[in-house]
Amino acid sequence: MSKYNEETINKLRELDRRHYLHPTTSLKEHQENGPKRIFTEGKGIYLTDVNGDQYIDALSSLWNVNIGHGRKELGEVASKQMGKLAYSSSFNNLSHETVIQLSEKLATITPGDLNVFFYTSGGSESNDTAFKLVRHYWKMKGKPEKKKIIGLERAYHGITMGATSATGIKQFHNMTNSLAPDFLHAAAHKTNCEYGDKSDSDFSRSIRGIIENEGPESIAAVIVEPIQGAGGVIIPPEDYLEAVRELCDQYGILMIADEVICGFGRTGKMFGVDNWNVVPDLMCIAKGITSGYIPLGAVAISERLRDSLSEVSNDVFFHGFTYSGHPTACAVALKNIEILQKEKLTENARNLESVLQKGFKYLEEKHSIFTKPRAKGLLGAFELFEDREENIPFAPEKMAAQKLVEECLTRKLIVRAVTFGGTNIIALSPPLVITRVEIENLIDILSNSIQALEKSVKFQSV
């Protein structure tokens, strides 16, 4: 039952329409219709809206609520930390207990020698920090011309200037009329090219092709998501990340892993790169570090990198956010990681991958428009095709993926459509506390929604 009467709901909707500029939203649609749903509560995998309707949050909101909604423990540690030391800065070599504890904890779970942490308030800030760090590093090493960053096509790295420029999705570039210089984009997942296969017609678009064309002396770093998330949950071929690691080593280029989605158990390992035993030089983390309960991000760097920076420069490291190492955010992160580990949520993600895959198989057998299912841990996706046998996609005007999202929403299930480049991808990334039965329920709702979509789009000519 809703605690909100119609008048209150209408007032909230109108105030939202009047005063709230929504992120990543069609502003026209918002102005015409107001917000789609207004949520008031969360528990486990569920969100409840002002009407009292309960939805399955199958994207963990923004791929971030890993431990699920409504965990009172996080509020309690935040309140305790605020009562003790809500905020203090780490500028000018000051410190506090909670950031030290979090750094020690993170060092025990990050791969290899990534044992040193710089803190931010989110993924974009982490990526921009990584870009400045690698350029600073090469400058300090006497190689100031090493400044170009190579990202991948369809990659998403965030919305600050560097992160947007590194992103390989043109809609994010087109939103503005000026981007940061020295960012290049390579075709994703061309493993053979990265190993040196020049006979491939895509060689010049590969990371290796670009490095060899531009000259390795001009390239500072390569940034990759272990699994591309917002670009449509694109899992790389088995030995791709190893190929990129080798390539970076061969040419003396730093490798940055953007673990903003993959980190903290999402893929069935603590970090995405752990699936391939690759250790990057820098790792950007955010989202799952606090499960979204409070903003926090970080860049993990190797001790080697820190040592070489501290050896070559007596100067101040001129980079720091007011909220770098925010005590309350650090306290929440510590509790969040404790819950992830105590409740074995990474293992849960790994174990339930097969349940999700089984559900996908069922959907594939039942629905002819369902195709290309994939999942790693609890990060999954599938695609909608007009004719999957003949590989004919739906025409963009049919808005198949967007319509499926609406059908799901009607049935109280929240999923994400990825339609860049004419794709009709549906992404799933449920909280890691989800159970087998809840996944089966989710698959049933998806099936009913796909059936409704089939009736509305499949046999209609546009």
Ligand X SMILES: Cc1ncc(COP(=O)(O)O)c(C=O)c1O
Shortest spacing between CB 117 and ligand X, in angstroms: 16
By CB neighbour count within 10 A (0-12 exposed, 13-18 middle, 19+ buried), where does 180 fall?
A: middle
- Tokens for 5, please give them: 């009467």
Q: Closest CB to ligand X among 50 and 166?
A: 166
HSE at residue 356, side-chain half, CA atoms within 13 A, is 26
**Phi-psi bin for 154: left (phi > 0), alpha (psi -120 to 50), beta?**
left
Residue nearest to ligand X (CB): 123
Query: Would you say 123 or 431 has its CB closer to ligand X?
Result: 123
> What H or E segment, with its residue span, contains residue 221?
strand 219-224
Smallest distance from ligand X to CB 307, Å: 27
Looking at the Cβ atoms of 209 and 288, the one nearer to ligand X is: 288
**Between 254 and 379, CB nearer to ligand X:** 379
Q: Would you tell me which residues interact with ligand X (CB under 6 A)? A: 62, 122-124, 127, 156-158, 225, 229-230, 258, 260-261, 286
If phi > 0 it is left, if psi is from -120 to 50 it is alpha, else beta; for residue 415 that is beta
- Please, how many CA atoms are within 13 Å of residue 274, restricted to the half-sphere of its CB? 20
Residues 112-147: b if buried by 16+ CB within 10 A, e if exposed: bbbbbbbbbbbbbbbbbbbbebbbbbbbbeeeeebb
Tell me how far, at minimum, the Cβ of 124 lies from ligand X, in Å.
3
Secondary structure tally for the chain: helices H, strands E: 16, 16
Least Cβ distance, residue 323 to ligand X (angstroms): 13
Shortest distance, position 332 Cβ to ligand X, whole Å: 15
Please state whether 229 falls in left (phi above 0), alpha (psi between -120 and 50) or beta: alpha
Between 283 and 453, CB nearer to ligand X: 283
Ramachandran area for residue 414 (φ above 0: left; ψ -120 to 50: alpha; else beta): beta
Which of 156/271 has CB closer to ligand X? 156
CB of 394 vs ligand X, minimal distance in Å: 25
Nearer CB in complex with ligand X: 60/449: 60
Nearest approach in angstroms of CB 229 to ligand X is 5
